[in-house]
Amino acid sequence: MDRVALRGLKARGHHGVFPREREEGQTFIVDLVLGLDTRPAAADDDLAKTVHYGVVAEEVVGVVQGEPVDLIETLAERIAQQCLKHAGVQEVEVVVHKPDAPITVPFDDVTITITRSRA
């Protein structure tokens, strides 16, 4: 399986369990690795035979900006399911970063990583 990766998609969302997170929002960063067979697209040099990563990026940002959820686990699942709606995508790895998580000690980042497939 081939891989198409999108790294560092940024969007503001209102996800979290605390009222401040829901009210003020914060930046979430998403990394994706889409698993698909790119041979048909490469053979014919045809965008229609692969995944349009620009469209995927816009959809993912839409999910992050969309309906708030409590958990980044839920957000990651919604992103994965959106990616799998593209016919050629057989598998997706989603990493959601929450660099401004409400943690009381110094930290660099909080992430959740999930992998989902059609099978």
Which residues are part of the catalytic machinery?
A: 98
The answer for residues whose C-beta is within 8 angstroms of residue 100's C-beta and 6 or more apart is 26, 27
The CA-CA-CA angle for residues 105, 21, 101, to 5°, reads: 30
Calpha distance 2→65 (Å, rounded): 29
Residue 107, helix vs strand vs coil: coil
Q: Which two tokens mark 8? A: 């560092």
* Residues facing residue 36 across a β-bridge: 2
Calpha distance 69→79 (Å, rounded): 12
